[in-house]
Structure 1
Amino acid sequence: MVEQAGSQVVIEVWADLGCPWCYVGKHRLRAAIAQRPDADRFTIVMRSFELDPEAPHELERNEESFIRAHGGTAADVLRAERQMQAMARREGLKYSLDRLNANTFDLHRVVQYANDQGRGFQFFSDVQDGFFAGTLNPFDPEALAGVAESAGLDARRVREILASNEYADRVRADRREGLELGATGVPFVVLDRRVAAPGAQKVAVYAQLLEQVAGPVPSERVS
């Protein structure tokens, strides 16, 4: 069974800021949607999934963050990072090796607010792109407020949220729901609540999944 022609399709994306596969997978999903002439049928909703809820709120170097969470050595991290950098660059994405990490819970709280305004995916994408490009410190409240304003959000509200505990329950609920749906990591994409795609799939695979839930790419009408 596929969606009726022209009906809206909701795509939910569970992701975390510092996850490189989320960064790559997000762009692949967006590319697959953009290939379709009915791209406006698809709405992407960001869902929160902290990969490391126990991460410190203080900034730490990328290799320190990885080793603390997964073990290994700095050489292991650098080797893996260089592989990811090469792959990202092949796909036209910027990828800085000089990144700082910290707890992402506060960012996810702002993402929840952005979702309420219909701009969750755009906001998260802008923040993550700047983070991996090495041009943005997303753990700086003022930097985050600036990105939010550029995405059409209220920077004042973002500052209020960051100074409070608003949306905390929703961030935790998102992670629980992702786990209940089968997520063992991120990215985890759920299309129309009927098809799940764990991991960063190729553009062609996302295209097949879009066709599965929304039907074949419609033919362009000749006027």
Structure 2
Amino acid sequence: MVEQPTQPGGSRVVIEVWSDLGCPWCYVGKHRLQTAIARRPDADRFGIVLRSFELDPGAPREPEENAKSFLRAHGGTAADVLRAERQMRALARQEGLAYSLSRLNANTFDLHRVVQYAGAHGRGFEFFSTVQDGFFAGTLNPHDPDTLAGVAEAVGLDGRRAREVLAGSEYADRVRADRDAGLELGALGVPFVVLDRRVAAPGAQKVPVYDRLLQQVAGPVASERVS
């Protein structure tokens, strides 16, 4: 974690979040960060920008069971996967988050291209977060173009354009550029959060840690400034 002096209060703070769809800690960490922001009276000062980061660029395009995907990428046994997943589900539920064990994983490059399209219209984080929440809840298939087009429309984008992006190769350079930028900033994996390009926090931090990081870049909340 890298920290530098606080900026003057009142200005807009951009929070960049490098993430990938099927990363459980990204899912949990995202909600912890949102909780920390929401409980500040100046929450509207903070804007979250989703940055693309493929954890498994070699993943197949055809969806595969979560256990198979994990074993292919990390090794181990099916029992190891089930044990880890159950532990993650318990943690997520403690934080009020849905967590399905019946997820299907696939290559996320095309999804990230749609995220980039959404980001170009100021809806990247909202689009990605909606897809990821539905994916982990087991209520949304992120590998279905019609489903992604529907999410795009739900967050105020053009579903037809989302389908066009999926069918072509637009925004591929931006997906790769995001990952390169994350690596240059020190990301060894995701989630990786950078606040105002001055404070970096790898991993899914707990809410009190995000509280301190927000204070580091934006100053204490009003109640803390009273002497």
TM range (shorter): over 0.9
Q: Which residue is equivalent to 1:77?
A: 81
Greater alpha carbon shift after TM alignment, 60-69 vs 111-120: 111-120
TM-score (norm 2): 0.96
Which amino acid is the alignment partner of residue 197 of structure 1? A
Cα distance in 2 for residues equivalent to 1:99 and 1:61: 6
1:105 alignment partner, one of 95, 106, 109: 109
1:112-154 residue CA offsets vs partner (Å, 9 max, x unmatched): 1111111111111000000000011101000001011101111
Cα distance in 2 for residues equivalent to 1:207 and 1:133: 26
1:43 alignment partner, one of 40, 43, 47: 47
Cα distance in 1 for residues equivalent to 2:36 and 2:123: 20
1:208 alignment partner, one of 192, 208, 212: 212
Cα distance in 1 for residues equivalent to 2:7 and 2:131: 32
1:219: how far off? 3.5
Give the number of aligned pairs.
Answer: 221
Q: Which residue is equivalent to 1:18?
A: 22
1:162: how far off? 0.4
Large movers: runs of 4+ above 3 Å? none
Q: Which residue is equivalent to 2:31?
A: 27
Cα distance in 2 for residues equivalent to 1:57 and 1:27: 28
1:145 alignment partner, one of 126, 146, 149: 149
1:37: how far off? 0.4
Which amino acid is the alignment partner of residue 111 of structure 1? V
Pairing 1:54-203 to 2, within 5 Å after superposition: 54-203=58-207
Stretches of structure 2 lacking an aligned partner (at least 5 in a row)? none
Which amino acid is the alignment partner of residue 208 of structure 1? R
Cα distance in 1 for residues equivalent to 2:180 and 2:6: 28
Which amino acid is the alignment partner of residue 102 of structure 1? A
SS of equivalent to 2:87: helix
Cα distance in 1 for residues equivalent to 2:81 and 2:39: 35
Stretches of structure 1 lacking an aligned partner (at least 5 in a row)? none
1:170-215 residue CA offsets vs partner (Å, 9 max, x unmatched): 1011111111110000000000000100000000000100000000
Work out the percentage of aligned pairs sharing the same amino acid.
Answer: 79
1:41-97 residue CA offsets vs partner (Å, 9 max, x unmatched): 000000000000000000100000000000011110000000000000000000000
Kindly report the root-mean-square deviation, in angstroms, between the aligned alpha carbons of the 2 structures.
1.2
TM-score (norm 1): 0.97
1:156: how far off? 0.7
SS of equivalent to 1:204: helix
Cα distance in 2 for residues equivalent to 1:148 and 1:135: 16
Cα distance in 2 for residues equivalent to 1:77 and 1:146: 32
SS of equivalent to 1:5: coil
Which amino acid is the alignment partner of residue 94 of structure 2? R
